[in-house]
Structure 1
Amino acid sequence: MGFFLVEPIVAIYAFASFLVYPLVQQYVYRRLWEELTNTTYPVEDRNSRCVNNSSNHSSHHEVVQKAASLFSLYSELFSMIPSLIVTLMLVAYSDHRGRKITIILPLLGSLTYTISFLAISFFELNLYLLIIANFISSLFGGIGTLLGGCFSYIADLCDDSKHRTLRMAGVDMVIGLLSGVASISTGYFLRAAGFNWPFLTSALFQLANLLYAIFLLEETVRPSDPLLSPVNGPSQRPVLKLLYGVYHLFAGGSKRRNCLLVLLLSTFTSYCFANMGGLSMVTLYELNEPLCWSEILIGYGSALSTVVFLTSFVGVTLLSRCLHNVAIVFIGLLSVMSGLVMIAFAKTTLMMFLVRLPMLLAIMPAPVLRSMMSKVISKSEQGALFACVAFLESLSSNVAFAVFSSLYAATVAWFPGFCFLLAAGLCLIPMALLAAVGFVSSDEAKEEEAILSQEESYPEDDEPCV
């Protein structure tokens, strides 16, 4: 007996990934510290590693901060392009041959990366082999491919738009809760057992997840389904067929619908760029002076950040009963902006923890915008839509990571919080686009209302005979 639930896959993936993600920057940071300073990494029992304020100690931090941010930049650049191409092709392909391929391949790539990380850590191999491992895993897709497949899977099952919104928000909530459980345990796991055991544990969870996706998860799209059969177009070459599916998404719609869809995609992309760009530098900011957080505090901070997923889900559930989707997204953008501004000036541990309060609704824009886009297209085009969404989300996140990594390396010496202020300012772009979305949506609603009222005004005697 199979299951039509992708939530367990997302939950296990989030848990396994966040056993590793918080450790990646810490592992790279420690290795670079030892290589660049020729000293052992300062591990203290206290919460903060700022043992002294000597100029020598500060210069070590500055050098390692720059090297770590540039290492992250190179890693992302090598994996970005193949991951984007695979995401676009696989999720669009799922409209014709099924959603499971978009779920199974990213899980296989993630397992490959974790095993490679374990080997590099266990045998103390060259640190730059991590970049090669990241590149290889990107050939299987990434988190964008997995989520694109999962959201398409949910769109296949949910005809009601409100139910679809809540279930998509539920996926984001599951990511937050399970990644929070993993994050809060990584610091203690690392201190008690080192890096190897967390990597091994993550690999075992990912293996179990892969087996569930292969053998238990049911398929929602059948090649024989007439509703979801391939559109008429180039069939001799699979690549052309896939690209034609994305092209048909816009070619088959009205001008007003395409305008609304482009505005929604632009709003979603600019939101991801600002949000992910700012948040990607938080761990390095916490490792730097004057915070100098230990692995325990970093774990607590990551876990507390994931509570945002739960509060955003509750926010979507409650606010959707009394507010329009545009208003919900606007509130979420304000939450992101206020939190990023607060991070820029956080200089104490208490203040850094309190940063999470204004960001409690920061995830709301993502599921609401996905649901709004899904509602304006037909069911047979969900895969093509979420291929575009996943492609743009991955592209914006990777470009943001690269831009903010290099920017942080350039500004860390004089003002480490500059990146967060810039990200907060960039939130004004999706806000402006959202205003345009509200304008176009209101015009479209008025037109539909006028058509309906016109149809209702016809007397029954004037109906044509069949």
Structure 2
Amino acid sequence: MDAPSPGEPGALDPAEEPTRSGIASRTRAWRGFGPVEPIVFLASFSLVLQGPLTTQYLWHRLGAEVGYNGTSRGGGCNHTSDPKQQEVETLTSHWSLYSNLSGFFVGLFSATLLGPWSDSVGRRPLLVLASTGLLLQVIVNIIVVSLDLHVGYLVLGRVLCAFLGDYNSLLASGFASVADVSTTSTRTLRMAVMEACLGISGMLAGILGGHWIKAQGYQNPFWLALATLITATLYAAFVYRESVLDPQRAPLFTLRHYRSVFQLFAAPAPGKSRKHLALYLLALFLVLTVHYGTWDIIVLYELSWPLCWGSNLIGYGSAAQHLSYLVSLAQVWLFQLCLRDSWMAEVSLAFNVVGLLVFSVAKTTALMFIGALFSCIACVSGIAMMSATGVFNSLYPATLNFMKGFPFLLGAFILLIPAILIGLLEKSDPRPEYQKSFH
């Protein structure tokens, strides 16, 4: 791409050129040619591969430490009255809590800086940083599994990943890149295609990971996750086409990024736009809290009595849950001509509620898969992850004695709140002039 001549739109004053950062200059010189979807696909594949893998590894390691004999990769467990099983469930849930909370507190600082920063310097730097963070986390996991180090070192990998933006920043940057290059008429469908990429990658990772763990153990699947993230990082650095047309130099460590978040809600806006934005964010927060919370504990639920799933069934269960991304794409394609986005969200939430209700009472494999088919999965959020891990990982061991499925039942009732919010917001739309200015 030829640089604009002086006086043309986008041309820079020569005196301003030295103020550009090295990253922004390289981004402008090499814009790349590839879309962002492969980065999101590869990162999601790695993340879904590692999620059940890490939980099962914790279950196996902690079970061996307390002398529980139901930790075989092939499945099999004791009756729920076995106190050692409940101890393993509690320990595994707590270590998941420690890992995710530590990642949240670091990520809350880094993501707030990196998000607004990418609006100026471009999406590529954040995609590279977040991919590198995920890569470092896998390296730590491989070292822990290979050397049988204390499981507390897994928290270190989580912190390193969060410091560089975590998966949340990568996914947000991916969706922002799609928004940069799409129009108002194509944006919903483009976002649905992105979600379909998440679904396909999750299904492949779930099935492959489940069978691989059963056949060869925990170490080799982590190596595949490592290779996948190396590919994603190289693609982001050298192939991805930058979607920000004119990247500018911007300092990273500045309070301006925090002020920009505050001004989003404090700046004057037409009509009820600020109130609507806050309520939509509340709805998103609740949806993601339930999503992250149930995702944390569902593998524990499947490993223990009465399901006693092995690695292969856990993989199939993960794949079935990610099938909902493809269902979401079909839903958008079928309904976008006759339903508005908010009503499509209501349909998705209804399926979510039904799925979680089924999970809460599931005692057989068939019911678990039926619940997975009703689940519709949304995108990610750091604050929702903190609430999810804090509530659900603490609630799960506390309710083992009277109802193991209680967290899923609670999640189903929580999802009624965003369903009501979205319905009410649809009835009281912002003024038309706000919609025009937003688009």
TM norm structure 2 = 0.87
Return the offset for 1:436: 2.8
Return the offset for 1:245: 2.7
CA pair 436-276 structure 1, distance change in 2 beyond 3 A = same
1:194 maps to amino acid: G
CA pair 430-448 structure 1, distance change in 2 beyond 3 A = closer
1:90–1:101 Cα contact (<8 Å) kept: no
How do 1:286-435 and structure 2 match up within 5 A?
286-359=302-375, 362-363=376-377, 366=378, 393-435=381-423
Q: Deviations over 1:41-66 (max 9, x none)?
A: 54275xx513x5495xx222111111
1:186–1:299 Cα contact (<8 Å) kept: yes
Matching residue of 1:204: 227
2:53 maps to amino acid: L
Q: Does 1:178 align with 2:201?
A: yes
1:95 maps to amino acid: D
How do 1:215-254 and structure 2 match up within 5 A?
215-223=238-246, 238-250=253-265, 251=267, 253-254=269-270
How do 1:21-170 and structure 2 match up within 5 A?
21-37=51-67, 42-43=71-72, 48-50=75-77, 53=79, 58-159=82-183, 161-170=184-193
2:62 maps to amino acid: L
Instruction: Name the CA distance, whole Å, in 2 between partners of 1:439 and 1:10.
Output: 35
CA pair 299-324 structure 1, distance change in 2 beyond 3 A = same
2:262 maps to amino acid: Y
2:321–2:373 Cα contact (<8 Å) kept: no
Q: Which moved more, 1:193-202 or 1:241-250?
A: 241-250
1:162 maps to amino acid: S
Return the offset for 1:6: 0.6
Q: Does 1:187 align with 2:217?
A: no
Instruction: Name the CA distance, whole Å, in 2 between partners of 1:152 and 1:42.
Output: 42
2:133–2:162 Cα contact (<8 Å) kept: yes
2:64–2:71 Cα contact (<8 Å) kept: no
1:244 maps to amino acid: R
Return the offset for 1:447: 9.3
Across the aligned residues of Structure 1 and Structure 2, the Cα RMSD in angstroms comes to 2.3
Instruction: Name the CA distance, whole Å, in 1 between partners of 2:368 and 2:435.
Output: 48
Which structure has the larger Rg? 1
CA pair 447-400 structure 1, distance change in 2 beyond 3 A = closer
2:400 maps to amino acid: V
Instruction: Name the CA distance, whole Å, in 1 between partners of 2:345 and 2:246.
Output: 36
Partner of 1:355, secondary structure, is helix
1:260–1:440 Cα contact (<8 Å) kept: no
The one of 258, 271, 277 equivalent to 1:261 is 277
2:36–2:241 Cα contact (<8 Å) kept: no
Q: Does 1:17 align with 2:44?
A: no
Q: Which moved more, 1:95-104 or 1:252-261?
A: 252-261
1:111–1:203 Cα contact (<8 Å) kept: yes
Q: Which moved more, 1:250-259 or 1:135-144?
A: 250-259
Matching residue of 2:19: none
Instruction: Name the CA distance, whole Å, in 2 between partners of 1:315 and 1:222.
Output: 32
Matching residue of 2:32: 2
2:414 maps to amino acid: L
Partner of 1:20, secondary structure, is helix
Q: Deviations over 1:348-381 (max 9, x none)?
A: 112112222333xx23xx47xxxxxxxxxxxxxx
CA pair 82-331 structure 1, distance change in 2 beyond 3 A = same
Return the offset for 1:433: 1.4
Partner of 1:327, secondary structure, is helix
2:204 maps to amino acid: V
2:431 maps to amino acid: E
Q: Which moved more, 1:338-347 or 1:83-92?
A: 83-92
1:34–1:41 Cα contact (<8 Å) kept: no
Matching residue of 2:11: none
Return the offset for 1:437: 1.4
Q: Deviations over 1:5-26 (max 9, x none)?
A: 1101111111122221110000
1:115–1:203 Cα contact (<8 Å) kept: yes
Matching residue of 1:379: none
The one of 441, 444, 449 equivalent to 2:431 is 444
CA pair 237-296 structure 1, distance change in 2 beyond 3 A = closer
